[in-house]
Structure 1
């Protein structure tokens, strides 16, 4: 891979980046109002939307898919929608205000059998915020905006989520505006590389998305060198070996950079956290099988599963719903806020990430930034994010995961202490992330 194409030199006048108009695609953002909590793509999307939409009017713009196709949208309305959704998600609030977090704390502090039903802490909808966000979404429904021919000359069109990028009718306008430079954030190629972990439809659509990115894109942004190499190979196969690629490591939320203490209610409870949607690629089954064995120990630790239920997860859901052995020791936390996750990580023995494959691994970066030890799969993405700070285990090594949990749960664990000493706390900052992207797009 050519370093010239993947490295972004420092500009002599960085302020040039702020003067090039950027048309930010907000189509996916306005669909997130009724989701309980953000995922990794949401975090990147919202951060970049704020970055680009907060500029002065001459350098900002928005695009949304309407009933008559993609149109220029009102950037102020887009910012208002973002603020409403983030309020619903409690991204800047206090963990104690999060009902999911409070129920997890209660479950962790409980002793003995948890009852006939599994311990599943889910978000209780806040009707006031839901109504507010629903009104905001209804405002978008008749929003026909302005024709794309009115887009500023030599603008950047930025699509961070690949939403609708698989549709040729959605991309067609770019052929009529060759002066507009499309830039796409590519989060991963996993539905192409490992389709067995995804719904059949997703494995069909993702190749179309990435092919359109290679066809129309003036540039692409990725979060890791590993993904840059794989995207370069894919682009070469599609006839675009020269596609400019910017590597900008994903930043963590400021929440994970600030000190936090676990609740006193935990009373020294041993627990671990796994973070991610419950779907086959995340490999929750290996951890649940380990916990079945741990349940026979005199004082087994607890496992908090942070993430909603996704797809192709029947075996995991069956264990969660029906296993009497697991019920006292495993807690589901769907819709947990970022402040809530930060507080949980503060008291966790470790973050466990047994994934088979990842595009980046944002929870790993968040845990390391928070000073929490990480035990993770020995895969390329995690190696790039965590380096020597992570305790690596093969995702298929069930006995290895079982032993790691037992070792980390031991009081004054030497293995855990060694992991803490290896963690230097080095993380990518938001300013560096935005600066790399700004410098990249101004050169296109």
Structure 2
């Protein structure tokens, strides 16, 4: 008997995080169909090496527990910032002695300041487990679908034991950017992702990407790593993501400063993403500075949490002469405020160097907000003739789109965004389940083959 065990461990443990992958996992799990092509679909987590069926993804509606969860997430973000600081100092210091002292200091501080409180929070959170999940016994023929960001996890050995017991492994691939563009990430994340991809290269039976572009990239990468003969034993497919902002609330207030910004008549161009080098905010500023120099009154609104390797960019924004005049930045918008921004902006701008999908494009266009994006393959896959594209090597190309749209009120795309259609999260979750089930059912020998790395 085959079941799809759709893994959501990271989101289960960190339910308040709302960035890209976490948003995808939460929505897919919430909309997961009970079955697809006759195959039962179950949300699962792997905790302390044990498999659990999720009965409630969100934490309990308890003020005390919610406070603990929120505090724990903020404390983890603080610990992550501390790790980033250590990484920056370690890369700058050349003396081996100083770097060794830095490492010792980092380990001691991490254990005392962060390690003990985080362990206490974890113990408190464990009291919720019986009310949110229940033990699950795996069966031969089950398929463990790694939907969540499993490179953060430590359950590889457990997954290998499941595979030895006849459980197939399906890897959901969001992108290969840490492999193809490692300069955009911290060294440790690149190493962790590389180790994870090595692992799924050897152990996954199938690969489900979030776009056809990424599917083809995964197949090409595996051709180089394991060769054609091994690649032919695996299957490759993709599904597309939905667009609803599921955490918005009719009772929640819109950020007052954001609301005030939209009361003025000048057009607002919205950029939604984590602030990190890959998203190419510097290009965005270069383009708008050129437009402003030519008399444009357009305003640029940057919305997104602060990420990594962005100190110089943040300094540029915070010291910019147009800040809070024609340049605005919001780092902690709720879904309710983001919905307001999508509803009132003139266009979305997305100058990312490389993406696996580009969720803000879909979120914007699904709401009738036209989008301007980098001329890269995956944006062409999503936007087709309904988007306007600019050259990443020439900021003037975006400046010209902005000033032209501002002057003529005619959006520079071949087709009107009002005619563009996309799927919602229900359809996205169904795509994932049905296409995974189809591939598994059509290739039973792939799941039955001997486990090559088992002693």
Superposed CA deviations along residues 279-318 of structure 1, whole A, max 9, x for unmatched, are: 1111000111233344446562221111111111122111
Contact 1:191 1:197 in 2 (8 A): yes
Q: Out of 140, 146, 157, which is 2:126 matched to? A: 140
What TM-score do the two structures reach when normalised by structure 1?
0.72
Contact 1:166 1:209 in 2 (8 A): no
C-alpha spacing 1:272/1:61, structure 2 compared with 1 (3 Å): closer
Shift of 1:206: 1.8
What TM-score do the two structures reach when normalised by structure 2?
0.71
Q: Out of 16, 27, 51, which is 1:47 matched to? A: 27
Q: Out of 72, 78, 83, which is 2:51 matched to? A: 72
Instruction: Give the whole-Å Cα distance in 1 for the aligned partners of 2:7 and 2:352.
Output: 30
Superposed CA deviations along residues 103-128 of structure 1, whole A, max 9, x for unmatched, are: xxxxxxxxxxxxxxxxxxxxxxxxxx
**Residue 59 (structure 2) pairs with residue 81 (structure 1):** yes
Instruction: Give the whole-Å Cα distance in 1 for the aligned partners of 2:423 and 2:212.
Output: 14
- Give the structure 2 partner of residue 249 of structure 1: 240
**Residue 146 (structure 2) pairs with residue 159 (structure 1):** yes
Instruction: Give the whole-Å Cα distance in 2 for the aligned partners of 1:396 and 1:153.
Output: 52
Superposed CA deviations along residues 138-165 of structure 1, whole A, max 9, x for unmatched, are: 33379598887x3234222121123247
- Describe the SS at the equivalent of 1:191: helix
Alignment of 1:49-128 (within 5 A): 49-52=29-32, 60=42, 62-66=44-48, 70-76=49-55, 78-81=56-59
- Describe the SS at the equivalent of 1:215: helix
Instruction: Give the whole-Å Cα distance in 1 for the aligned partners of 2:388 and 2:61.
Output: 38
Superposed CA deviations along residues 221-262 of structure 1, whole A, max 9, x for unmatched, are: 112111111101112223231221221111211779xxxxx9
- Give the structure 2 partner of residue 224 of structure 1: 211
Give unpaired runs (5+ residues) of structure 2: 67-119, 248-257, 441-455
Contact 1:303 1:329 in 2 (8 A): yes
Q: Out of 309, 312, 331, which is 1:312 matched to? A: 309
Instruction: Give the whole-Å Cα distance in 2 for the aligned partners of 1:227 and 1:26.
Output: 21
Instruction: Give the whole-Å Cα distance in 1 for the aligned partners of 2:220 and 2:177.
Output: 14
Alignment of 1:346-425 (within 5 A): 346-410=343-407, 412-414=408-410, 416=411, 421=416, 424-425=419-420
**Residue 281 (structure 2) pairs with residue 276 (structure 1):** no
C-alpha spacing 1:169/1:141, structure 2 compared with 1 (3 Å): farther
Corresponding residue pairs, total: 364
Superposed CA deviations along residues 379-436 of structure 1, whole A, max 9, x for unmatched, are: 00101000011111111211112222222223x423x175662652221343442333
